[in-house]
Structure 1
C-alpha cells in the first residue's frame, strides 16, 4: 500500500481527529452523486465520478486494476474504486472511481453517532407489497426441504422482497443516518446501483478484506431474532450456539470459505467453533477467518470474486442452488446478495455481503431478506426469519410489517 493511500485512511495521531469527523461524512452524503461506506475500521465518502469500470468479457479484477493504474499514472496519487456488484455473475457492476474521496475514523468511535435522528417518513406514508407472500415463500421452503431430504442438494438461500411506495420521494440521507446509528459497528452503505437507482443498507457481514499481505473473512450463517426482553434475548443467543440445524448451516459456509481461500494463502486460521455477532434485530453465528497471502499481487477483489457467492447467500452445490433460486424466486435479485465495497490501486480493500438492504428508485423502496434453507429447516421459522430481517430497514423508515 502506498504511503499516500495509507495516510488518507489512517490519521497519524488519533488524538488529532476532531470529534464528529465520521458523522460529518455521514451527514454530507447526497444521493446520485455520492458513494458512502462505513465499516468497523473507517468511514468513506466518495463524491462525483472520475471513471467507471467497464463491463466486458475480461475478468472484473483485471478491469478494476487497469482503471486504477491508469488513474494513478494520470496523476491521482490514491485512486479508489467504490460501488457494488450484483448477485448474477454476468450482470454489469456498478463500480466507479470518485472524483474525490474523504476518509474518517469509524462511526462507532464518533461520540456524535449517539445523537437521535427522526424517522425519514411517517409509517402511514408507505404502501407495502410482499413478493412472494409469506404463504408462497413458506411453500417454496417446504419444496426445497423435501428436495434436500431426497438428496438433490445440501443448502439453498431463498429470499423475498417487500416493496414500499410513498406519495413523495424517500429521504435517503435521513434513512442512511438512521441505519448507521442503529448499528454503528456494522457496515453501512449508500451507492448508485444503476440509472436512477440507489443501493442503501446496513450489512453485518464482511465477505473479505485485504490489507497488505493479510486477509480477513467473516462468514455469517445461522440466525435468531433478537428479543426486547433481556432474559429471552440471552436464551435465544445460547440456543443458537447449540442449534444443530444452525451449526450445520454455518459449517457448510465456513467450509466453502476455507476451500476458496486456501489456494491464495500460505496460512489460513479457521476457528473450530463459531461465536455470536449481534445486530439490533438479529443474532448470527460468526466465524472470523484470517490468513496470509501467498501472492502479493492478489487483490481484495480477486479474493472476493473467488468467494462469491458463498453458501451463505446462494447454497451448495452452487450451480444447482442458483437454479433452485431461479425456479423459486419470482423476482431478479439485482444487487441483493452481491457485494459492496472499495479497493485502492495497491489491491487493499474490503467487500461486504449486500444484505439488510433496499434499492431505491423514484418513490419506491425495494427491500430484500433471505434465509438459509437446509434439510432441517422449518417453513414457518424461515418465513419468520425473513420478516425479522426486514425490520433492520423498516426501522429506518418508520414502517413495520
Structure 2
C-alpha cells in the first residue's frame, strides 16, 4: 500500500482514485483517453488498448449511463493494492460558502415525473423505471475534489469512494465525478465474478428503534422486493451467456450511513477466461437498478420524462466506474451517491426505482436521503 503521505500527495496532484473494501487503485501521471466516440466503442477498445500499452498500465475511469455518448476511460500506470485507502488529514479544510442551490427538477416536479412514470407502468408499457434528479450548488470558490474525497472516505468506509476526471485532469476547470458508491457492479478475478446489485431502499433514521423498524419494513415490503427481483433476474440473464454456476441467493439488508438497501450477493464462474471485466460491463449495463425493466422501454421513458424540457443529463451518473488491467481482471461499481464537480459548481445526483405501488412523495424523500451522502461530505466543517 502506498505510504499515507504519498497517497495524500497523489490525491492532491489529481490521481484517479477507486478505494473499496477489497482493493484500492491510484492512477497517476499522463492519462491518454481510450479512443472511441461512445462509451460502447470505448469498452470494445479497452483490451486492444491495453495490449498495445506497456506493463503496469490499466484502463480506468467512467462509462456513461447512455452508452451511445462518450465516456471517460483513460490509460495510465496504476498501483492496485489490497484494502481501502487510508489518508492522513489533507490539511485544514477551508469552509465552503454556498451561494445558490438549484434543484432540477424541483421536488414537486419530480413527484409529477413519478406520476407520469406510474401511468406508463399502469398502461403496461413497462414494469420498472428509475428516475433521477439533481441538486446544483454554487460556491464562492472552487470545490476541492481532494477535500470532498477525504470526507467521503471517512464517512463511508464500506463504500467504494472514487474521484475520476471526466475531462483532461490537467485542464483548468476540468470536470470530476466524485462519490461513494455502495453498489458493486462486478469484480472479476480470474474465472471468478462477484456482483452485488442494490434495489429497494429506505431512508435511515437517527433514532435506533425507528431505524430498525424501517429496515424490517424494507425487508418485508412487497413493492421493494419486486423492484429488487427485476434487477436480480436481469443480471442473471445477462451473465448466463458468459458464466456457469451462477448463484443468486435471497436478498439481504445493506446499510449506508443514509440509506437501507436490499442487496443480493451474486457469484459466478466464467465459462471462458477470455471474457474480460469490460465484456461483462458491456453486457450488464445499464441494469434495472439504474435503468428499468424491460430495458428498452425504461430507457425510452427516461429520455422522455427525465430528459425533457428542464430535465437533466445524467452524463456518467448511474454509469459504470472502475478499472481493468492487462489480464482482464477489474472492478466496477455503479456510479451512484455521486456528484459532478466543475469549478464552483457541484451537481449532486440521486434516483429512485419506480414500480407499481410507488408513492411520489416517498420517492422524493428517498432521493433526498440518497443525496445526503455527498451533501454531508461537501459542507462538512
The TM-score by the shorter chain falls in which range?
over 0.9
- Contact 1:341 1:351 (8 Å CA) reproduced: yes
Aligned to 2:340: 359
Shift of 1:28: 3.2
Contact 2:19/2:84 (CA < 8 Å) preserved in 1?
A: yes
SS of equivalent residue, structure 1 residue 390: helix
Aligned partner of 1:368 among 346, 349, 355: 349
Corresponding residue for 1:180? Answer: 153
User: How far does residue 52 in structure 1 lie from its aligned partner after superposition?
Assistant: 2.1
How far apart are the structure 1 equivalents of 2:304 and 2:95? 35
Cα contact 1:207–1:219 (8 A) shared by 2: yes
Aligned residues: 371
Alignment match of 1:283 (pick from 260, 263, 277): 260
Q: Check whether the contact 1:157–1:372 (CA below 8 A) recurs between aligned residues.
A: yes
Name the SS of the counterpart of 2:52 in structure 1: helix
Root-mean-square deviation over aligned CA pairs: 2.1
- Aligned to 1:236, the other structure's residue is in SS state helix
The one of 130, 149, 154 aligned to 2:127: 154
| Contact kept? 2:116, 2:305, Cα under 8 Å | no
Given that 1:213 and 1:296 are in contact with CA atoms closer than 8 Å, whether structure 2 keeps it comes out as: yes
Deviates more, 1:46-55 or 1:184-193: 46-55
Instruction: Look up the match of 1:66.
Output: 48
Is 1:239 paired with 2:201?
no
Q: Contact 2:136–2:346 (CA<8 Å) still a contact in 1?
A: yes
Q: Confirm or deny that 1:311 pairs with 2:293.
A: no
Q: Secondary structure at the match of 1:263?
A: coil
Paired with 1:48 and 1:214, the residues of 2 have a C-alpha distance of: 31
Write the distance in 2 (CA, Å) between the matches of 1:118 and 1:155.
45
Question: For residue 163 of structure 2, what is the aligned residue in structure 1?
Answer: 190
Report the CA distance between 1:97 and its aligned residue. 1.4
Larger helix percent? 1
Partner of 2:188: 210
The structure-2 alpha-carbon separation of the partners of 1:23 and 1:230, relative to structure 1 and needing over 3 Å to count, comes to: farther
What pairs up with 1:15-164 in 2 under 5 angstroms? 21=3, 25-26=7-8, 28-30=10-12, 33-56=14-37, 59-71=41-53, 76-98=54-76, 100-107=77-84, 121-122=95-96, 124-164=97-137
On the 8 A contact 1:51/1:67 being kept in 2, the answer is no
Contact map agreement 1:22 1:107 (CA 8 A) in 2: no
**Cα offset, 1:234, TM superposition:** 1.1
Give the 3-state SS of the residue equivalent to 2:279 in structure 1: helix
Residues 30-71 of structure 1 deviation map (CA, whole Å, 9 limit, x = unaligned) = 36x420111111111111224320014784343100110011
User: d(CA) in 1 for partners of 2:353 and 2:116?
Assistant: 14
Contact 1:281 1:392 in 2 (8 A): yes
Cα pair 2:98 2:137 within 8 Å, conserved: no
- Give the C-alpha shift of residue 116 in structure 1: 10
Q: Deviations over 1:295-321 (max 9, x none)?
A: 111000100110000000011111111
Q: Give me the whole-angstrom Cα distance separating, in 2, the residues matched to 1:238 and 1:163.
A: 33
Mapped to 1, the partners of 2:37 and 2:338 lie a distance apart of 27
Please give the TM-score of this superposition, normalised by the length of structure 2: 0.92
Instruction: Answer whether contact 1:277 1:285 (CA < 8 A) is retained.
Output: yes
Partner of 1:398: 379
Instruction: List alignment gaps of at least 5 residues for structure 2.
Output: 169-173
In the alignment, the residues of structure 2 paired with residue 84 and residue 383 of structure 1 have an alpha-carbon distance, to the nearest angstrom, of: 27
Deviation of 1:79 after TM superposition, in Å, equals 1.8
Q: Name the counterpart of 2:331.
A: 350
Residues of 2 paired with 1:49 and 1:93: CA distance? 18
Q: Residues of 2 paired with 1:288 and 1:117: CA distance?
A: 38
Secondary structure of the structure 2 residue equivalent to 1:144: helix
In structure 2, what is the Cα distance between the partners aligned to 1:94 and 1:159?
A: 21
Moved more, 323-332 or 206-215: 323-332
